[in-house]
Amino acid sequence: MPIPVDEQGIDVDQLIATGAEGALITPSHQFPIGGVLSAGRRQRLVRWIEQHDGYVLEDDYDAEFRYDQASVGALQGLAADRVIYAGTASKTLAPALRIGWLVVPPELVRPMDAELRRWKEGSPRIEQDALAHLLQTGAYDRHLRKMPANLP
Ligand SMILES: Cc1ncc(COP(=O)(O)O)c(C=O)c1O
């Protein structure tokens, strides 16, 4: 069920009015028209999702590089029990890597793990190990900071 967006991002009142129990959103970079979910809408979205124990899937596919404003935090940081966070290396490294990640609420870790194990195609192992190395050594963070698109 599509929900309208404006310059502040998704229209949370219209979302709530649908009676939905969850939502897929792109708060850091509204897909496909751009824009960032405003602080007020973030608060409202979090209140709504916490009130009825639903889930928001935060597709954070393009948050690392900011062209016109400072970085914004993930919605997941405001409601870790109710937000399923999805990230990807497609924009920061290369889409051909086919590596992404999920940060899920504690109660979903087991069911999500069981579901993922049923998939025959996983992510490439060697590339995952290389990404883990970049993360552990701080090289990934340095790479992000060096990219010219990022504002201080
Ligand atoms: C809305 C949206 N979500 C997620 C992604 C990332 O997809 P993937 O990690 O499969 O490259 C993209 C890629 O541009 C996208 O446009």
Pocket mutation for ligand 1, best pick of 10, 28, 57, 61 (most atoms within 8 Å of C-beta): 61
pLDDT per position as a tens digit, 84-124: 999 999 999 999 999 999 999 999 999 999 998 888 777 78
CA 63 from chain centre, in angstroms, equals 8
Percent of the chain with pLDDT over 90: 74
In a domain, 151, yes or no: no
DSSP 8: T
* Cα 71 to Cα 152: distance, rounded to the nearest angstrom: 9
In a domain, 18, yes or no: yes
Confidence band for 31, pLDDT divided at 50, 70 and 90 = confident
Burial (CB count within 10 angstroms: exposed 0-12, middle 13-18, buried 19+), residue 142:
exposed
Nearest CA to ligand 1 atom 8: 90
pLDDT per position as a tens digit, 126-144: 999 999 999 999 999 999 9
pLDDT computed for residue 68 by the predictor: 74
How many folded domains does the chain comprise?
1
In a domain, 19, yes or no: yes
Query: Does an H or E element contain 22, and which?
Result: strand 22-25
In a domain, 152, yes or no: no
pLDDT computed for residue 148 by the predictor: 74
Domain extent, residue 52, equals: 5-146
pLDDT at 150 over 60: yes
pLDDT computed for residue 47 by the predictor: 96
CATH of residue 102's domain is 3.40.640.10
Q: Which pairs from 128-134 meet CB under 8 Å and 24+ separation?
A: 128/99, 131/89, 131/93, 131/97, 131/99
pLDDT at 36 over 60: yes
pLDDT at 76 over 90: yes
pLDDT computed for residue 124 by the predictor: 87
Q: Is the CB of 61 under 6 A from ligand 1?
A: yes
Pocket mutation for ligand 1, best pick of 24, 26, 31, 123 (most atoms within 8 Å of C-beta): 31
